[in-house]
Amino acid sequence: MTAPNLRDRYLQDAINTASPAKLLVMLYDRMILDLGQGEEAFRNGDREAGSAKVMHAQEIVLELRTTLDMDAWDGAPGLASLYGFVLTELIGANIARDADRVASCRTLLEPLRDAWREAASAGT
């Protein structure tokens, strides 16, 4: 098996065996990574790469919003609203190729990612 195939298999195994909390953290980690790379690409004038990264982050936000159980806790509607705001901002940032708007979304989401990571660690 080649190195890329081994890496892909490892990643797939990590996803398949992760707890729901760990999967959530993995989604946040990837979203934050995409936003950082998208911001950097826009700043460097690479519109195609920046757009691709921001669009992938948008897909993750949409997935997070869609799968959010609104009845699970009192804060769910607020989190859904935040996801809606971030999605709107990322769409606008992507259209305008606005690195600063992408950075603002990343800055807004990083504390959430950190909180979910802490909660996932406490649950294990």
Residue 87 has pLDDT above 70, yes or no: yes
Residues 104-114 have pLDDT tens digits of 999 999 999 99
Task: Find out whether 67 and 79 touch, Cβ atoms under 8 Å.
Answer: no
How many percent of the chain have pLDDT more than 90?
Answer: 77
Please give the mean pLDDT across all residues of the chain: 91
User: Looking up tokens 């802490």, which residue turns up?
Assistant: 118
Q: What is the pTM of this model?
A: 0.86
73: helix, strand or coil: coil
Task: Find out whether 42 and 72 touch, Cβ atoms under 8 Å.
Answer: no
Residue 14 has pLDDT above 60, yes or no: no
